[in-house]
Amino acid sequence: MNICREENTAFANEIMQLNDKLNLLKEEVKTLKDEVNSKKTKKRSAQKYNSYIRSELRTIRDNLKEKEQSSEKHCNNCEKNHSILAERENEVFELKESIENLKSEKLKLRNSDGSNTNEVRLCIMELCGLEVAVEKMSPVIRTISKHLFNETIDRKDLPSSTTTQNIVDEGHYLAKSYISQKLSKLKIGGFTEMEQHAESKNSWIRQCR
């Protein structure tokens, strides 16, 4: 009887120990399951995060590629714009040179003080010598310039009728002064030659005596 009790007690103790071990194993299994589930969750989270990172990297690469293409296009546009700008600057420079050349080739009819040039005055004097009327001189000059030299002269660049008459009068005065000087020289030269001839004649007469 006692033996049975002892055996039952021992058996009960063994069962309790086994139950304890079983509970411990269950706890361990639960812990392991929790760890596995946690690892799975972490793995899924890591996979999701990894997928997100890859998507972000892909987006960044695409953006960089677009920016590179845009930058390359922008650079090409900049180079094209610089080339166009250089061409325009060269055209402007050439036009300025052409303008300066045209200015230098343009008939100069007035001096810096607004007076007519000597060429205009001489032209009027010679037209006067050709018996061209004073009021016709400026139109004649404009007509000749237009048809022979393809140069259009504004009316304001030529002297008025009053100024033309003054230039004609000045021409007459200069012509008279020139003729007077020539005549004076001829008279002086003539008297000198006569005196020299008379002196030579007198000297020859004296020698003959």
Q: What is the mean pLDDT of residues 146-173?
A: 88
Most confident of 17-31, 87-101, 128-142: 128-142
Residues 145 and 107: beta-carbon distance below 8 Å: yes
pLDDT digits (tens, 9 = 90+) for 105-130: 567 788 888 888 898 999 999 999 89
Residues 180 and 188: beta-carbon distance below 8 Å: no
Q: What is the mean pLDDT of the chain?
A: 73
Phi first, then psi: give them for residue 164, nearest 5 degrees: -60, -45
pLDDT digits (tens, 9 = 90+) for 66-79: 776 766 665 666 67
> Which pTM was predicted?
0.41
Most confident of 59-63, 83-87, 156-160: 156-160
Enumerate the H helices of 106-160 as residue ranges.
Answer: 118-129, 134-148
| Of 171, 159, 173, residue with least CA distance to 125 | 171
